[in-house]
Chain A
Amino acid sequence: MTDSATTISRADAYVNVDGVRKIYNPGPKQVEALSEVHCRVREGEFVSLLGPSGCGKSTLLMMVAGLESLSTGHIDVGGKPMEGTREDIGLMFQDSTLLPWKTTLENVMFPIKILKRSDEEYRETAINLLTRVGLGDFLDKKPSQLSGGMRQRAAICRALVYDPSLLLMDEPFSALDAITRDEMNQVLMGMWQEFRKTGLFVTHSIRESVFLSDRVLVMSARPGRIVADLTIPFPRAREFSLVDTPEFNEICAYLRSKISEQEAVGAQAA
């Protein structure tokens, strides 16, 4: 498996992560969350960050979002260094974080309100997005009237409505039951195939990462490093039936072995 830093040149990459370290509580009781992470993501690529809990993958994602500071290293997105938050990044979390007093449509329009863009321009987009994910009849319902899966669908629309160039997702489907999760994978796949945003997706589900991504980056346990960079060979326009094929399961098995390797190393070190 090749190291992405060497095969993708800096110029080609849309997201560049170079030698990033994150240390909490510097001093005698410091905790190293991330150690020397290098990775690159091309424009329009969908890349998953796969790893066990606590390996720092969420921290890395927050750094790319400009929400977390770096101890060492350098991140740039779209050619410009990350020095804070930006208007053209879309974010999704495990919790849909919809505002409970706003309707579904109002929630999707929330970024437009914050970014002070014109309502009329984006309203149709919002309605279109919601219809595409199947929430066309729920525009004026409040989040308490939607199921967990529906709320995350609304969250996808909210992340896309203002046309960001980079989509960052932090385990968005981890809180859903297995069946809904599979559904959501297909929904996300559909949306992504239509809009082709650059995507960085954090997950601890091997199956999810293989189904959704062009590349899967495996992270070690804390302190996190990228230990494998696997390009997923399946062509785009993937059907969900793919997950039952032997090839798919081979790849999952390979990734699983990579992860258990890391857990063994981690256990030895502990």
Chain B
Amino acid sequence: MASLPRNTPFSGLFGTLQDRAIILRKALLPVGAMLLVLWGWNYVVDIKVFPTVVLPPPSDVLDVLLMQNAFLFEHTLQTFLECLGGFVLAAMFGVGLAMLVTVSRVAREMLYPNLVLFQLIPTIALAPLFVLWFGLGSESRLAYAMCLALFPIVVASSTGLMNTNPYFVRLCDSLTADRWQILFRVRFPFALPHIFTGLRIGLTLAIIGVVVGEFVTAQSGIGYLISYASSSLETAMALAAIVYLLGAGLVLFILLMAFEFTLNKIFSTES
């Protein structure tokens, strides 16, 4: 026999008891697991399995986060701006190149296979080369991050732009629209999901690029901080820097999401 539904005062909120049990489980378990890991971390430090240099207690990390927040913020800001700059450059050039390749058949046939081939180059390995070319300053990291992020953006965007539903393209053709009109009015809005997938990958790579660039140029920024702190055995500082990097990454992705949301709004109201 099934149990009859109980009408408690909070029945309306979150639905039935069963619904609430499910929500509780799905939210509590991951949070609980994280707390368990933190507790385990503390415990391992307490029973002194590793020297505190290798694994400092969570409280040490918290200390650094709170005490040194201005210092950490300064470095984070630089990294953040470099990531943003590199990404924006890659996005502009990447989408622009993708549009060119979509519109011009000659450009497409000449460039596209080469672009796909270029993805095979482990661009990460070129970090020292960029230092050679641009010096130790921001420019080299910007250029490096841009180069890393460029190719996935171009490939994803061109895939999206070229693979528009052919029926729409045919409709525009029959209305004697020219290639650029088709590009901007039809291909681009439909390609937005693909473009943003590429942009997300690009942003991830831009961040990686700046961090690795900072490892190699070793001047300032979060990457430098992590590298320097670990080599000076200031592990708590290194971990705190990673937390700040997490924060910067989150902000960047939220900005990208907001941008995506805005564009989707614009293009869906237009159609």
Contact = CB atoms under 8 A, between A and B. Distances in A.
- In the complex, are there CB atoms of A and B closer than 8 Å? yes
Interface stretch (A9-17, A26-34, A45-53): A26-34
Contacts of B18: 26
A26 B1 contact: no
Nearest to B12: A28
B2 A27 contact: no
B15 A72 contact: no
B7 to A, nearest CB: 8
Contacts of A70: 2
B69 interface: no
A23 B2 contact: yes
B11 A27 contact: yes
A25 B15 CA distance: 9
Contacts of B2: 23, 26, 70-72
A26 B3 CA distance: 9
Contacts of A72: 1-2
A25 B16 contact: yes
A25 B16 CA distance: 8
A184 B115 CA distance: 52
Interface string B1-22: 1111100000110011010000
A11 to B, nearest CB: 25
Contacts of A27: 5, 11, 15-16
Nearest to A28: B11
B165 to A, nearest CB: 27
Nearest to A23: B2
A23 B1 CA distance: 12
Interface in A31-79: 70-72
Nearest to A26: B5
Contacts of B15: 25, 27, 29
A192 B140 CA distance: 77
Interface residues of A, number: 10
A30 B5 contact: yes
Contacts of B16: 25-27
Contacts of B5: 26-28, 30
B182 to A, nearest CB: 38
B13 to A, nearest CB: 12
B4 A26 contact: yes
Interface in B100-152: none
Nearest to A71: B2
Contacts of B11: 27-28
Contacts of B3: 26
Contacts of A25: 15-16
A25 to B, nearest CB: 7
A204 B1 CA distance: 30
Nearest to A21: B2
Interface in A97-146: none
Contacts of B12: 28
A25, A27, A28, A29 — which one has the most chain B CB atoms within 10 A of its CB? A27
A28 to B, nearest CB: 7
A268 B152 CA distance: 57
B12 to A, nearest CB: 8
A72 B3 CA distance: 10
Nearest to A69: B2
A134 to B, nearest CB: 41
B11 to A, nearest CB: 7
A23 B16 CA distance: 14
B234 to A, nearest CB: 53
Contacts of A26: 2-5, 16, 18
A269 to B, nearest CB: 23
Nearest to A30: B5
A29 B16 CA distance: 9
A25 B5 CA distance: 9
Nearest to B17: A27
A64 B15 CA distance: 30
Nearest 10 pairs of A and B residues by beta carbon: A71-B2, A27-B5, A27-B16, A26-B5, A72-B2, A72-B1, A26-B2, A28-B11, A26-B16, A23-B2
Given A25-B15, A30-B5, 6 more contacts: A26-B3, A26-B5, A26-B16, A27-B11, A27-B16, A70-B2
Interface of B: 1-5, 11-12, 15-16, 18
22 contacts: A23-B2, A25-B15, A25-B16, A26-B2, A26-B3, A26-B4, A26-B5, A26-B16, A26-B18, A27-B5, A27-B11, A27-B15, A27-B16, A28-B5, A28-B11, A28-B12, A29-B15, A30-B5, A70-B2, A71-B2, A72-B1, A72-B2
